[in-house]
Chains A and B, each alone.
Chain A
Amino acid sequence: MAGTVRIIRRFISATIAISILMLVFNFILLGVWVFKGINEGHSPGIVVQKVAKGLHPSANTYSLDSSSAELLNQNNAWAMLIEDTGHIAWNYMLPDELPEIYSRADVAKFTRSYLMDYPVFVWEHDEGLMVVGYPKKSLAKYQHILPITWVSSLPLRVASLVIGNIALALLLSLFIGSKLIRSIRPLVQGIQGLAEDREVYVEPKGVLANLAQSVNRASDLLQQRNNSLKNRDEARSNWIAGISHDIRTPLSMVLGYASDLEENIEIPIEQRHQARIIRRQAEKLRSLVSDLNLVSMLEYEMQPLNKNPIRLSALARQIASEFLNNGLDEHFTLEVEILDEGVKVNGDEQLLTRAITNLIQNSIVHNPDGCQIRLQISLDEEYKTCSFVVADNGMGIYQNQLPDLLELPYSAKRKHPRQNGHGLGLPMVARIVKAHQGHLILYSDIEKGFSAEIVLPSIMSD
């Protein structure tokens, strides 16, 4: 599952980032805090160095400059200068308890550690050895004696420490993450199901129980809404089908008797003519009823499609021949332009014929002075879609009226009232095309002709 994998990947990288950040932070803290603590004020090494430099011999005795004295006072430290003979040549604030003579062994001993518990530090001086002592228990002296191999492998050790930390963080985050994912997975599946409009149920348990309940409630609501929408569509479609049915029976009688009267030679010619008008109007009503029914079935996706592979070029020739055979007015020309003979679509032949016929009929009806009508079949470069264009060079309509043409007549979405015809022709075409997973594109402008392009998914021709 792509979603959970992504979540766990994010989770792990976040954990790694956090642990690296913490490592860096710790190092900085260690550096700043610990080493600053050690070097608070002047380090004893520097103090003893300065004191050694600040002590000058002057007329049999020594004088300490004021800055060094200040330094010693600040640290509560004492100082002494031991001559090569082991005697104290000079001192400053020397505690009384200390001996006055030091052997070399003594010097070696206190240099490494303490002089009578005073932490002491030594530095060379022209006249002997400078010793600075700090108060008892104020400083701890450690000697770090490290093997060279340990020192040289230090970077490696630090690196492996860091890597070990990262690996541990990774393992921990994987463990925690997978536990989390296990509890999230049903939720993720549930939400994905919602997006795909499936009915879902997530067992509400664990920390995310109320989230699961929300998902379940959302699913229930969606299903309810879908059902009510479907019911409403079905009701509408059935209502229109019912009306059509109820109109058809009385219309049979009108049509039947009108055409009977029309053919009755015993009736005066004028009345027969009137009967013919009744018959023609009844026929109009008949086509309106069946168009209305078809459009409503398509609108509510209840029209069964009888799909078969159809070669568009054959369909175009068939429809064009039909128009010419039925006596196309001489003001009109109809030509077929096949750019790709083999283009095939999977479609309902009757419905597609109906759509193309509607488009040609539109061109004829809206251009009473005649026009050239062109049917064109083409395939796109990627062989995925093909188009069936019905174009005329007639009067055209304003561009801004084009969107209106696809809306059902009397629909609130329609901005302008319909002009002529029952207005179902183009909406029917659009819905037939949609039922074939295609789309309808209209181009027109005033005096620039009208062109309708039906774009359909093509199937590979063999």
Chain B
Amino acid sequence: MDEIKNKKLLIVDDEDEIRNMIDGFLRKEGFARIYHASNCVEALEVCRSVKPDIAILDVMLPDGDGFSLLSSLRQISNMPVLFLSARGEDEDRLLGLGLGADDYIVKPFLPRELILRLTAILRRVYSPPMQEQRPVFQLGGRTIDLEGGIVENDGTEYPLTAKEYALLFKLYESRNRIVTSDALCQAAWGDDYYGYENTLMVHIRRIREKIEINPSSPEYLLTIRGLGYKLVVKEV
């Protein structure tokens, strides 16, 4: 974690006040090595001298736009870039992301949102790639081990099939929220819900047989009529 806070940040924006505000929020979060630039020329200079680890770029700058700045930056550095723009048009967003920006935030923004997205990028780029831990969680008396693909009940283990696993994983990802049948089919079969209704129902019933105490009146994997399913998990 401290590793991330130690990274060098570059803020490029022509408005002093915006730069100072972002600077303030970042310092409050524990970032200390923050550099400023108010135009493209300064930004390139700082990049050469300091070699920052991440840059927050405004799209509209007095001596050029952020997109061309990104192209120039790419020639000297591969650091992640986050656009912070007052232009919300979809075209700009797509152009920015298409040029290889890591994220695109439209002004006005909430400081918390900026910091969350910034740290997410830093973590993704700079944290050592660790084995992603699949979740293990409790449903009533049963343990659902998505790492091992097993449902454990009173010492008996019920293995999950690949499709059951995919469905359960998708439901767990959005636990306590409705997941539409379409999204579930997309997750399990990579295809449209249209034509998979019955198959989906069969698989849901099989999952219920493994995780529910009484599969015909489910407590955890609920049917939301007309929409999809919801996995109710009580957070500990």
Contacts and interface: CB of A to CB of B under 8 A. Distances in A.
Contacts of B110: 255-256, 259
Contacts, number: 103
Nearest to A348: B90
A251 B107 contact: yes
Interface in B84-133: 86-91, 106-112
Contact of B226 (A249, A311, A317, A342): A317
A341 B194 contact: yes
Query: DSSP class of A's interface residues: helix, strand, loop or mixed?
Result: helix
> Which has the most chain B C-beta neighbours within 10 Å: A249, A306, A313?
A249
A317 B108 contact: no
B86 A311 contact: no
Contacts of A335: 226
Interface stretch (B160-168, B176-184, B199-207, B212-220): B176-184
B108 A321 contact: no
A254 B180 CA distance: 38
B175 to A, nearest CB: 11
B86 A248 contact: yes
> Which has the most chain A C-beta neighbours within 10 Å: B89, B181, B224?
B89
Given A245-B87, A293-B88, A335-B226, A325 B109 contact: no
Interface stretch (B3-11, B13-21, B43-51): B13-21
B182 A249 contact: no
A252 B226 contact: no
A290 B107 contact: no
B158 interface: no
Interface in A82-122: none
Interface string A296-337: 010000001010000101100110110011000000000111
A282 B91 CA distance: 25
Interface residues on A, range: 35 or more
A252 B18 contact: yes
B17 to A, nearest CB: 6
A335 B225 CA distance: 9
Given A325-B178, A336-B227, A257 B86 contact: no
B108 A286 contact: yes
A321 B227 contact: yes
B110 to A, nearest CB: 5
Contacts of A260: 24-25, 111
A287 to B, nearest CB: 10
A317 B177 CA distance: 13
A256 B108 contact: yes
A252 B178 contact: no
Contacts of A14: none
B192 interface: yes
B71 to A, nearest CB: 22
A126 to B, nearest CB: 115
A324 B91 contact: no
Nearest to B225: A335
B109 A257 contact: no
A265 to B, nearest CB: 12
A245 B58 CA distance: 12
A314 B193 contact: yes
A324 B86 CA distance: 31
A337 to B, nearest CB: 8
Contacts of A23: none
A375 to B, nearest CB: 9
Contacts of A338: 226
A420 interface: no
Nearest to A344: B194
Interface string B13-47: 00101100110110000000000000000000000
A253 interface: yes
A317 B66 CA distance: 38
A152 interface: no
A153 interface: no
A317 B88 contact: no
A311 B194 contact: yes
A350 interface: yes
Nearest to A338: B226
A350 B108 contact: no
A249 B111 contact: no
A145 to B, nearest CB: 96
A149 to B, nearest CB: 85
> Which has the most chain A C-beta neighbours within 10 Å: B24, B108, B111, B174?
B108
A431 B131 CA distance: 49
A241 B177 CA distance: 36
Contacts of B17: 253
B228 interface: yes
A314 B182 contact: yes
A341 B185 CA distance: 15
Given A248-B86, A325-B177, A320 B107 contact: no
Contacts of B87: 241, 245
A259 B111 contact: yes
Interface in B34-80: 60
A255 B192 CA distance: 41
Contact of B194 (A256, A257, A324, A342): A342
A263 B17 CA distance: 20
Contact of A248 (B24, B108, B192): B108
A245 B224 contact: no
Given A260-B111, A311-B194, A321-B177, 5 more contacts: A245-B60, A256-B21, A256-B25, A260-B25, A325-B178
Closest 10 pairs between A and B when the two form their complex, measured CB to CB: A252-B108, A248-B86, A321-B178, A251-B108, A314-B182, A317-B180, A325-B177, A248-B107, A255-B108, A252-B107
Interface of B: 15, 17-18, 21-22, 24-25, 60, 86-91, 106-112, 174, 177-183, 192-194, 224, 226-228
6 contacts: A253-B21, A263-B112, A317-B227, A324-B227, A337-B226, A338-B226
